[in-house]
């Protein structure tokens, strides 16, 4: 998955959420650390290491 594009799509409202499984988190983290709009997205932690990212209200 192209996490940079997914983060931009989430920020722009083109998608509602991004679901990240624990095994995909390292790849996602690289895109997240370079994402300049982190304040527009929030993560919701779930059991077993799953995280859902949604637009911040």
Alpha-carbon distance of 36 to 41, in angstroms, equals 11
Q: Does the reported pTM lie above 0.85?
A: yes
User: Which ranges of the chain have pLDDT less than 70?
Assistant: none
SS3 19: strand
Model pLDDT, residue 20: 98
Could you list the residue range(s) of the whole structural domain that residue 44 is in? 3-55
pLDDT in tens, 30-41: 999 999 999 999
Strands (E), the chain: 17-20, 41-45, 51-55
Q: Is 17 helix (H, G, I), strand (E, B) or coil?
A: strand
Burial (CB < 10 A; 0-12, 13-18, 19+), residue 4, is middle
Residues 3, 9: contact at Cβ < 8 Å? no
Number of domains in the chain: 1
């Amino acid at each position: 998955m192209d996490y940079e594009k997914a983060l931009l799509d989430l920020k722009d409202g083109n998608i509602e959420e991004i679901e990240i499984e624990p095994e995909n988190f390292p790849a996602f983290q690289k895109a997240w650390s370079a994402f300049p709009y982190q304040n527009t997205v929030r993560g919701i932690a779930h059991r077993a290491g799953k995280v859902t990212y949604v637009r911040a209200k």
